[in-house]
Structure 1
Amino acid sequence: MRLKDKIKTIPYLGKISSLAKKNSIKVWLVGGALRDMFIKRNGEITDFDFCVDHNTFSLAFKFGKLTKSRMIVLDSEQKSYRVIIKRKDKFYTYDFTRMRGKDLRSDLLSRDFTVNTLALSLNDMPGIKMIDLLGARRDLISKCIKVVDEPVLKDDPLRILRAFSLSCLYGFRIEKRTERLLVKYKKLLSKVSKERINEEIFKILSAKHAYPAVKKMSELFIIDEVIPYITAQRGVHQGAYHHLDVWGHSLDALLRLEALANRRLSKIREIRDYLYKNAAGKHRLIDVIKLAVILHDAGKPFARKIVNKKTIFHTHEKIGADLIDEVYKKLKLSVKEKEILKKLIFWHLRPGYLADQHYPSKRAVYRFFRDTADYGPAVVILSLADWRATRGPLTDVKKRKRHERIMLNLIKKYFEDRKRKPVPKLVDGFDIMKRFKLEPSPLVGKILKKIKEEQALGKIKNKHQAYKFAQMIIMKAYRKT
């Protein structure tokens, strides 16, 4: 479909045009909607931004009344208003903002990047007249992110991160001069609210290919300004099992994770549904796993020791999990996201220990999924990415292949077990206390936990066997005391 024909399909555009003409108000459709239409981005566009020369409130209010929709005040000082319309089970957002400056050119010069400066005059409708004052079409065709003007980065430093989110979402490159300006003003990111930083970081992580943007942010040392413990990972040597320093390895692991998620794992419906569900609020589990991969070895700089001329990082997974508290504050994560990150980092070495067994026992596998629960597959996937990014001279290729085979089997088992009916509970805490005349205590919980494990492994099949096993545990406990 041609651009002009696409524009004509925008719901209610004609009504806004009529209202503007009737009330002698100049209105332009600007920004993202026109950008996405120009590059023929997949998916329906539902967000529209309008630049209004005066009487912005009046226009937005009348449009809301005409469409029987509610008008929301976004910013009374900046004269910015929103109308949300539900149409055929979809929500369409119309934002009306007072023109910044004396004319359209002044307004466009106050925007972030040239690719967002296309404009369409609604006063000229039904004719479709595209306005391009700053070379938007040229930069869209050449897939180039170019800052409109240097002051816009000082006015809103979040635009530094937005350059990268646009870059990875659209597959665009950042112009060299713009790169230099992003570096020049990177320290101003500390003045941006944590909530806005969070939103932009997750826009980057939600891209199918976030790695190029994260890598470029790393090269420009911009990622260090927004995610804690990146700087500490740089230059930390890991020994002969690794071919990269700690931060280089974490970056490479992100690349490996995206290759897994976008290719092999995406072909399996259960895994695809698991990864792309919302983990906590609006962020998907795959996006949280990407952040976990970036930070999975954050504890290494604080755990590093040289023993017998060998570099070791004993307990780095525990230290790394504890560091997430600071990440939680800095990125304004949800409590659920913090919990997921802590679990993924704390358990990320455990799948490797299972792979060391060649053929992990049923008991070891049971305990792994018991401890990691719903995040077992996420831990396994992180481990896969971690091992794929470990390619030093002492790396055993056969061991890595064995690890991969066992990891894929673990994921398969998790989803197979989910399809089975839950094993019915044979006894509960009251049964145990009544049978053995016990008071409520940690021992009762320990008995139930062990019975559940033996039942899952097929060693206990009825109530009689459960009581017999419980009696054995109680006798051992009393012998110790």
Structure 2
Amino acid sequence: MQIKDKVASIPYLFSIKRLANETKVNVYLVGGFLRDLYLKRGENFDFDFIVERNAEEFSIAFSQKINCKWIVLDKEERTYRVIVKRKENIYHYDFSQLKGSNLEEDLLKRDFSINTLLLNVNRFPHVQVIDRLKAIRDLRKKIIRAVSEEVILEDPLRILRAFSLWARYNLRIETQTLKFLKKHKALLKKVSPERINEELFKILDSHYSYSIIKKMSDLFILDEIIPSIRKSRGVYQGGYHHLDVWEHSLQTLSRFEILYRRRLVKSSEIVDYLNQELAKNRKRIHILKLACLLHDIGKPFAKGVKGKKTIFHTHEKIGAELAQEFAQEIKLSVKEKEVLRKLIFWHLRPGYLAGEIFPSQRAIYRFFRDTEEEGVSVILLSLADWRATRGPLTNREKRLIHERVMFKLIDFYFNERKKKPLPKVVDGFDIMKKFNLA
């Protein structure tokens, strides 16, 4: 289907055209919808329009014409949204007042060249797509190029948005833009936590997020979002590890994604489990990936030496507390915070279970009792953690046993746990708590 045919398929586009011509105001379709057409992406239900003048009045008139909900999206930026529910889909029509005195000035205030394509709605379909900033060239080359350095200064969130565009569209950030992002990374401190976490989780949504997160780490941009990274860099871990604490954490994310793509994706039960929604637009798999990055953040504070061995006693407890503080800072939901805490607090536990060829049923019951719904995620984190641990003192046989036990535990969870609730294991601690003997 041609570009014009796709544009013509936008619901109510011709209603917007008639209204624009009746009110004698130029209206332009801009940005994401046109970008996605050139990238041959799937359906896009979000439409952005530039209104030459009186954007508020125009958007209200459009909402009344089609009898749909109208809201103010950003009063300062004079952006308004009309929400259309049609069949099973929800469409967003965003109308923004022209920024500056002309179209050229408006485009120069946008973030990246690939988001600057325009189409005049008033004259559609007898017009071509307008490309003032070489957006089509950049789309063909699959590169992300900032319109200017100034647009990064105007809204530092665009530093993260460049990486989330990379994650979503598998594009490459061009060299000069990377320099802008690194140069102004400290400005991320001025961005609200809610906006930060929205872009961060868009990145983690990619099944290839490791390479993106690694680039953000190499540019020290990630340190501005997760300050605890700074203390993890360069921390030696002893002979069982071939990497420092932070590089090991990055490698844990990499190993999880490889495991997911090669094996986990073949299990509908695991995929469904990981796709469970914990908050709006955020799933269990996203928090698990975050846990891969944060599972050892307690190590710099717990590091000690026993004889000739480097030890990190209680690092999982310290890490769980630090992770909760970070989760609070970026405004994660109560559920997400608790899931993240559990993953980090219990991430060593599966390794202890793998001390035997197969742990006792009692030990399995205790594990799933303590980890609850997060049991499978804890196991997957342990698998990735062990796969990212390749120091000279590691033992191949122990790694193989660990793998076998972990997958048997996952099978147990899905094959047995569903049949009937696991009986609660009563131990001395439970009895002391019950009768106030503690």
The reply to whether TM is greater than 0.5 is: yes
- In the TM superposition, what whole-angstrom CA distance separates every residue of 1:308-339 from its partner, at most 9, and x where no partner exists? 22211111111101112320232111121111
Question: 1:22 offset after TM fit, Å?
Answer: 1.2
Greater mean deviation of Cα atoms: 319-328 or 89-98: 319-328
Q: Within the alignment, does 1:316 sit opposite 2:337 as a pair?
A: no
Question: 1:67 offset after TM fit, Å?
Answer: 1.1
Q: 2: CA distance between counterparts of 1:138 and 1:39?
A: 12
Q: 2: CA distance between counterparts of 1:260 and 1:250?
A: 15
Q: Within the alignment, does 1:72 sit opposite 2:50 as a pair?
A: no
Q: Equivalences for 1:10-409 in 2 at 5 Å?
A: 10-42=10-42, 44-409=43-408
Greater mean deviation of Cα atoms: 255-264 or 23-32: 255-264
Relative to 1, partners in 2 of residues 1:307 and 1:421: Cα closer, same or farther, differing over 3 Å?
Answer: closer
State the AA in 2 paired with 1:33: F
State the AA in 2 paired with 1:362: Q
Relative to 1, partners in 2 of residues 1:349 and 1:423: Cα closer, same or farther, differing over 3 Å?
Answer: closer
**Equivalent residue, structure 2, for 1:457:** none
Greater mean deviation of Cα atoms: 182-191 or 122-131: 122-131
**Equivalent residue, structure 2, for 1:431:** none
Question: 1:418 offset after TM fit, Å?
Answer: 3.2
Secondary structure of 2:206's partner? coil
- 8 Å contact from structure 1 (residues 228, 330) kept in 2: no
Give the share of equivalent positions with the same residue, in percent.
55
Q: 2: CA distance between counterparts of 1:386 and 1:2?
A: 48
**Equivalent residue, structure 2, for 1:460:** none
Question: 1:128 offset after TM fit, Å?
Answer: 4.2
Question: 1:66 offset after TM fit, Å?
Answer: 1.2
State the AA in 1 paired with 2:403: E
State the AA in 2 paired with 1:26: N
Q: 2: CA distance between counterparts of 1:370 and 1:281?
A: 27
Relative to 1, partners in 2 of residues 1:303 and 1:442: Cα closer, same or farther, differing over 3 Å?
Answer: closer
Relative to 1, partners in 2 of residues 1:397 and 1:444: Cα closer, same or farther, differing over 3 Å?
Answer: closer
Which runs of no fewer than 5 residues in structure 1 stay unpaired? 426-440, 448-476
- 8 Å contact from structure 1 (residues 250, 297) kept in 2: yes
Q: 1: CA distance between counterparts of 2:143 and 2:74?
A: 31
TM-score between the two structures when normalised by the length of structure 2? 0.96
- TM superposition outliers: structure 1 runs of 4+ over 3 Å: 421-425, 441-447
- In the TM superposition, what whole-angstrom CA distance separates every residue of 1:63-117 from its partner, at most 9, and x where no partner exists? 1011110111123332211000000121000000001111111111100011111
- 8 Å contact from structure 1 (residues 227, 331) kept in 2: no
Q: 2: CA distance between counterparts of 1:424 and 1:352?
A: 23
- 8 Å contact from structure 1 (residues 276, 284) kept in 2: yes
- 8 Å contact from structure 1 (residues 208, 262) kept in 2: yes
Question: 1:398 offset after TM fit, Å?
Answer: 1.6
Secondary structure of 1:126's partner? coil
State the AA in 2 paired with 1:208: H
* Larger Rg computed on CA atoms: 1
- 8 Å contact from structure 2 (residues 348, 382) kept in 1: yes
State the AA in 2 paired with 1:369: F
Q: 2: CA distance between counterparts of 1:107 and 1:263?
A: 45
Number of aligned residue pairs: give it: 434
Q: 1: CA distance between counterparts of 2:140 and 2:230?
A: 36
Secondary structure of 1:370's partner? helix
- In the TM superposition, what whole-angstrom CA distance separates every residue of 1:247-272 from its partner, at most 9, and x where no partner exists? 10100110111112233111111111
Q: 1: CA distance between counterparts of 2:29 and 2:422?
A: 59
**Equivalent residue, structure 1, for 2:5:** 5
- 8 Å contact from structure 2 (residues 365, 423) kept in 1: no
Question: 1:442 offset after TM fit, Å?
Answer: 6.8
Q: CA RMSD in A?
A: 1.9
State the AA in 1 paired with 2:186: K
Which runs of no fewer than 5 residues in structure 2 stay unpaired? none
Secondary structure of 2:263's partner? helix
**Equivalent residue, structure 2, for 1:429:** none
- In the TM superposition, what whole-angstrom CA distance separates every residue of 1:134-188 from its partner, at most 9, and x where no partner exists? 0111111111111001111110000001011111111111111111111111111
